Amino acid sequence: MVAWDGIGIIERNSDIARLVRRRVVVNSALWPRQMVGAELIANSRRNMLDTLADLSCVDRQRRYTETVPYVHVPNELACQWDQHSSLMREQLWFRDSLSSVELDTAFAFDAEFIAFCDCFDCDLTNFDRLWADTRWSDIGLAAAKTLDAFA
């Protein structure tokens, strides 16, 4: 499946799509903050904070699951964070929109989240099993700490 994420074409397990996306990213990665609209910057930041809030709060995760029961919410949150992680790594305008403390804390969370996801191979388990896993609790605490850095 090919999808457009606003940055480039994404298709898992496709070298061609990765090359297309990489070319698009290279063309936009060096855009200074002044060339990117304030609305895009604000929305990107808000979306990242919303994802961190969802990851940090079991009640929000329950509401999310109830709101969209047909979606595997743990995987959805992992995909959302992956998008924010890509913005931090690949987009100068996004990095410039964050303070050094925010960026350092977000990168520290990113490393912890990647390590956590690596324990599950491709897919995270359902929330009923994740909520019982102390590693998921640690992710929630790390997400909350990251949110605090943005306050």
Token pair in block for residue 96: 């410039």
Token pair in block for residue 9: 């074409």
79 closest CA partner among 119, 51, 106: 51
pTM of the model: 0.75
Rounded to the nearest 5 degrees, what angle is found at the Cα of 56, between the Cα atoms of 112 and 84? 60
Q: Scan for tokens 């969370």, then name that residue.
A: 109
Please state, rounded to an integer, the average pLDDT across all residues of the chain: 80
Supply the DSSP symbol for 119. T
Q: What is the DSSP string of 110-136?
A: HHHHHHHHHTTTT-PPPHHHHTT-HHH
**127 within 8 A of 65, measured Cβ to Cβ:** yes
CA–CA separation, 97 and 7 (whole Å): 17
Can you give the residue ranges of every domain in the chain? Answer: 1-30, 37-149
Supply the DSSP symbol for 115. H
Collapse the DSSP code of 4 into the 3-class scheme (helix H, G, I; strand E, B; otherwise coil) and give the result. strand
Task: Determine the pLDDT at residue 34.
Answer: 57
Interval 109-130: pLDDT, tens? 999 999 888 887 667 788 878 8
Q: Give the best-scoring range by mean pLDDT among 20-24, 83-87, 118-122.
A: 83-87
**Per-residue pLDDT for 14 more than 70?**
no
**131 within 8 A of 139, measured Cβ to Cβ:** no
* Residue type at position 90: E
